[in-house]
Amino acid sequence: MAAFDPIKTAIRSPRGGVSAAVLLLVMACALFAPLIAPYAYDIQNLPGSNADPSVAHWMGTDEFGRDLMSRIIYGARTSLTVAVTAISISVVAGLTLGAMAAYFGGWFDRAVTAVVDLTWSFPEILIALILIAIIGPGVGSVMVAISIAYLAQFTRLTRAQIMALKNETYVEATTNLGAGHFHIIFRHLLPNALTPVIVAGMLATGDAIILEATLGFFGLGAQPPTPSWGAMMSSGTAQIFIAPWIIIFPGLAIAITVISINLFGDALIESLDIHNHLRSV
Amino acid sequence: MALLSVQSISVSIGQLNPLEGVTFDIDKREILGLVGESGSGKSLTAMCVMGLLPRIGGTITNGSIIFDGRELIGLPEIELRRLRGKRIALISQNPMTSLDPIIPIGAQIDQVSTLHLGLSPEAAKARSLDLIAQLRIPEPAAIHRAYPHQLSGGMKQRIVIAMALAADPDLIVADEPTTALDVTIQAQIIQIMVELVRDRSLALMLITHDMGVVAQACDRVVVLYAGRVAEMNTVGEVFANPKHPYTRELIRCIPRLGQEPGSLKGIPGAVPSIVDYPDGCRFNPRCSEAQEICRGQVPALERKSSGIAACHFSEV
Amino acid sequence: MISFFLKRLLLLIPVFLAVSMVIFMIVHLVPGDPIDNLVQINSSPEQKAALAAKYGLDKPLYHQYAIWLGNALTGDLGNAIILRRPVADLIAQNLPHSLSLGALALLFSTIVGIASGALAAIYKDSWIDRTTMTLILLGSTVPSFWLGLLLIMLFAVQLGWFPVSGARSWDALILPVLTIGLGGVALVARVTRVAMMETARKDFVMMLHAKGVPPWQIELRHVLRHALLPVVTILSLRIGWILGGAVTVEFVFARPGLGSLLITSLNQRDYPVVQGALLMLAIAVMLGTLLGDIIQAAMDPRVRERIK
């Protein structure tokens, strides 16, 4: 299929290949955590708490004696689920809003643009914190907060794409042939604007993983005993003098995942040749 | 001896060889026109003379460029820099983009004379104001303070000319100086340059694709085609007695008053692509007089009854 | 210039109203009676009634908003539920810490970011460029709180060079500034590098070479100056990101400041404090944007023209 060619090209580049392999591994951890993890994530063993990394516990144990590696593998599940779901919602909503704003113009466009510009100047973390202040902490809240925090970015990008396409002759031709608004938006405009938005969404998933971890670190995300990378580090701060690995390994998991997402995203941008489309972001 | 003598220079950029054996010379108080279609290598020739070829990733592989008795090829960059702006100045194609948009116009002219003549800021400013006035720009003091976006295209080109004159150069290379301007402004700018050459005993290398400009302003003309010199002669001879079929076609393409409507036609065919130059004479696919020899053998650039030309069939 | 400043300031008023409205709505959107979100749990009905009267809770929402905003603008942000002190006092106490951290981090990001971005662009494809690019990748992908924790482990716990946490002495600022700084440096360096490489391709740069201007002068006086325009734009747009970084980093380093105040009160559901801290952060973001606009207008005559 032609649609997969850029992905293939991206994977063939050295960076793209390595980062794709790492991402597959992380996704496998998230999907098959019970099969891959050597221990259950919630089995406590207080005598064996804060143990150094060893053959039995490759990454050591935490303050309750739980196997850190197992918790990190399960943590991938939480992080990826939250980030991917939130960004997917955000991308779909952003595509719809942005396309409608650009296509219909007028007061609707002005209203959408005003709200987007307003939220644009505020950092995502602040928007997420405001939302969590309203809906309260928890995994679901974090998901909602992240998807709203990134909505402005995708709306803005989609709108810019559609504005550029709108005046092209083939759209005019279709309008003259009597096609309905939704037909034009969904059959002609959106498919052409889709690629840059999806790539931006992929890159934003990396940022969303960090945002999820940050909120988790603040104690506003997944509640114990559900393992989440951010919350694990938060509880690790109390053991920073005796068991630094509780902080090091989950952070490393985040860093490696996010770096891979970025490298693969860059490779994809290169193979699709869409640098210019993404410049506004 | 000519002020500038370019002898048989060839240029390569990566795998491409956009110039081959380009030869011409310019004397003091002379305007030499360099004509050709886009892609013929006119601007590259200007880059060679300015010593700016490495900036666009090109190298001169062959030939010599002698300016005022001094070989420019192989001269260290620092020496070239002392010539640039001081003895050889450039007037670029697009005045809209050749001025720094966020620096006042005056400062950009002053820069040249402080740099090359070692003038104090005050003296440089006085000199720039004087130059602006000489170029018949009203309100020099206001213009000196203005920013480029506040000026029209024609005004900007005059500023670029002032910038070129700021250090009193011997040679000015003008790369299509009027292409980006309105027709009425074009004539004014050409007029200004002709007067400058006369008043300041400058030499001017005027690059253009417009045979009308050549007829109006130049003393001699070099015709370039696909990276090679087709012909060089005085303007009078070129128009009266063109030696190369390409020159003849160029002249035929000049619109004339009273011409029958619809009778004006371009040269058939297109300029060959640099990646796919034809063998032999590069003009042969478009030439109505081409023979077998034109397809197989490169015509040498030879002295003819007047001027030089590169055609197997031009009369001696 | 002054009229430009006033015009920008006027433009911020609707933004401020919109943001403050959202922040005001927090206590009403949270499930439960708004009054319960504003008072201590064991308050007497009389205390509740007094507060309800003060905030006009029996009046329509827009009226309540007007009362709240009027109070806030005159410095009355209500009382903290847990800490039992006026919110304005808490903010006055925490704001200087956040300001010094934010300003230093901004300064550090700008200077180091521009310098490394410019060097990377001038020495493109050299080891300087590659090192900068790697730093940019790390700076934009490593979570700042993790970086902060790593710095604490290395420089505070292992080497003992700096305090682990708090804000008792000036050297307690260094690790937090570095933590926020890496992200900021990455952002600024990336924009500077790309902008310089793009500017270097412009016609006027070739013209400067043709004028015989020495290359270092071209890079510093012309190309870098142009590259700074997008840097200022990005910085003014993203000044909030640096403040956002401050929120995280204050929490990690257990420093006093608006960020840790906000996170702590969020966890304790101390809504008056949450509202006050969010309002201050939002104002800081808006003022940062304004500052960026002004710097931009000072640097680019074309921007000044557009405003007139």
CB-based contact C26 A233, cutoff 8 Å: no
The pLDDT score that the predictor gives to residue A65 is 67
Same domain, C23 and C132: no
pLDDT at A57 over 70: no
Q: Is A176 exposed, middle or buried (0-12, 13-18, 19+ CB in 10 A)?
A: exposed
B145 at C interface, C-beta within 8 A: no
For residue C80, tell me if it sits in a domain: no
For residue C81, tell me if it sits in a domain: no
Q: How many domains does chain A have?
A: 1
For residue C248, tell me if it sits in a domain: yes
The pLDDT score that the predictor gives to residue A224 is 74
For residue A33, tell me if it sits in a domain: no
The pLDDT score that the predictor gives to residue B37 is 85
DSSP assignment of C141-186 equals HS-HHHHHHHHIIIIIIIS--S-SS-SSSGGGGHHHHHHHHHHHHH
For residue C165, tell me if it sits in a domain: yes
For residue C199, tell me if it sits in a domain: yes
For residue C195, tell me if it sits in a domain: yes
CA distance A217 to A235: 8
Same domain, C48 and C178: no
Helix axes A190-217, A139-149, angle to 10 degrees: 130
* Contact partners, residue B138, CB within 8 Å, separation at least 6: none
DSSP assignment of B3-72 equals SEEEEEEEEEETTEEEEEEEEEEE-TT-EEEEE--TTSSHHHHHHHHHT-GGGGTEEEEEEEEEETTEE-
Q: Which of C201, C207, C304 to mutate to test the interface with B (most CBs of B within 10 A)?
A: C207
Residue pair C32/C48 in contact (Cβ under 8 Å)? The answer is no
pLDDT digits (tens, 9 = 90+) for C291-307: 888 888 888 888 777 76
Reduced to 3 states (helix: H, G, I; strand: E, B; else coil), residue B241 is: coil
* Nearest chain C CA: its distance from A85 CA (Å): 20
pLDDT at A279 over 70: no
pLDDT digits (tens, 9 = 90+) for C32-45: 777 777 776 677 77
Mean pLDDT of C86-94: 89
Give bridge partners of residue B16 from the DSSP assignment.
B13
Q: Above pLDDT 70, what percent of chain C?
A: 97
For residue C78, tell me if it sits in a domain: no
The predicted model scores a pTM of 0.80
For residue A26, tell me if it sits in a domain: no
Same domain, C263 and C150: yes
C37: left (phi over 0), alpha (psi -120 to 50) or beta: alpha
Mean pLDDT estimate for chain B: 88
Domain final residue pick, C73, C98, C124: C73
Same domain, C31 and C179: no
The pLDDT score that the predictor gives to residue B145 is 92
Mean pLDDT of A216-220: 86
> What number is the ipTM of this complex?
0.89
Closest CA to C177 of C154, C146, C144: C144
Same domain, C20 and C140: no
For residue A50, tell me if it sits in a domain: no
pLDDT at A2 over 70: no
Residue A281 pLDDT level (bands cut at 50, 70, 90): very low
Same domain, C114 and C45: no
Same domain, C106 and C68: no
Same domain, C137 and C231: yes
Residue pair C297/C1 in contact (Cβ under 8 Å)? The answer is yes
Same domain, C182 and C257: yes
Same domain, C123 and C214: yes
Between chain A and chain C, the number of residue pairs with CB atoms below 8 A apart is: 121
CA distance C219 to C126: 17
| Residue numbers of the domain that contains C302 | 87-307
CATH number at residue A158: 1.10.3720.10
Closest CA to B113 of B163, B180, B161, B65: B163
The pLDDT score that the predictor gives to residue B209 is 87
Length of chain B: 316
- What is the chain C residue with the closest CA to A251? C146
For residue A7, tell me if it sits in a domain: no
DSSP assignment of A187-245 equals IIIHHHHHHHHHHHHHHHHHHHHHHHHHHHHTT-SSPTTS--HHHHHHHHGGGTTT-TH
Encoded tokens for A66: 């739980």
pLDDT digits (tens, 9 = 90+) for A115-151: 888 787 778 888 888 888 888 888 888 999 999 989 9
For residue A49, tell me if it sits in a domain: no
For residue A84, tell me if it sits in a domain: yes
CA distance C233 to B230: 52
**Residue C136: count of CB within 10 angstroms of its CB:** 23
Mean pLDDT of A228-232: 84
From first to last of its 316 residues, chain B has per-residue pLDDT tens of: 789 999 999 999 888 888 988 999 999 999 999 998 888 888 899 999 999 998 888 899 989 999 999 999 989 999 999 999 999 999 988 888 889 988 999 999 999 999 999 999 999 999 999 999 988 888 999 999 999 989 988 889 889 999 999 999 999 999 988 887 888 888 888 888 899 888 888 999 999 988 888 988 899 999 999 989 999 999 999 998 888 989 988 888 887 777 777 777 778 778 888 888 888 888 888 888 888 888 888 888 888 888 888 888 876 5
pLDDT digits (tens, 9 = 90+) for A81-107: 899 999 999 999 999 898 888 888 889
| Residue numbers of the domain that contains A161 | 67-278
Residue pair A228/A216 in contact (Cβ under 8 Å)? The answer is yes
Domain final residue pick, C73, C104, C131: C73
pLDDT at C57 over 80: no
Q: How many domains does chain C have?
A: 2
User: Which residues of chain C are within 8 Å of residue B112 when distances are taken between CB atoms?
Assistant: 211-212
Same domain, C112 and C223: yes
Q: Which amino acid is at A115?
A: V
Same domain, C191 and C58: no
- What is the chain C residue with the closest CA to A234? C252
| Candidate from C26, C141, C281 with C-beta closest to A206 | C141
Neighbouring C-alpha atoms within 13 Å toward the C-beta of B179: 18
Closest CA to B134 of B103, B170, B105, B166: B166
Residue pair A209/A258 in contact (Cβ under 8 Å)? The answer is yes
CB-based contact C210 B97, cutoff 8 Å: no
Domain final residue pick, C41, C73, C105: C73
CA distance C86 to C34: 18
For residue C79, tell me if it sits in a domain: no
CB-based contact C244 A123, cutoff 8 Å: yes
For residue A42, tell me if it sits in a domain: no
* Contact partners, residue A153, CB within 8 Å, separation at least 6: A90, A94, A120, A200, A204, A281
The pLDDT score that the predictor gives to residue B219 is 93
pLDDT digits (tens, 9 = 90+) for C246-305: 888 888 888 888 888 888 888 888 888 888 888 888 888 888 888 888 888 888 888 777
CATH number at residue C165: 1.10.3720.10
The pLDDT score that the predictor gives to residue A177 is 65
Instruction: Spell out the alpha helix ranges (H) of A150-189.
Output: 151-166, 169-176, 181-183
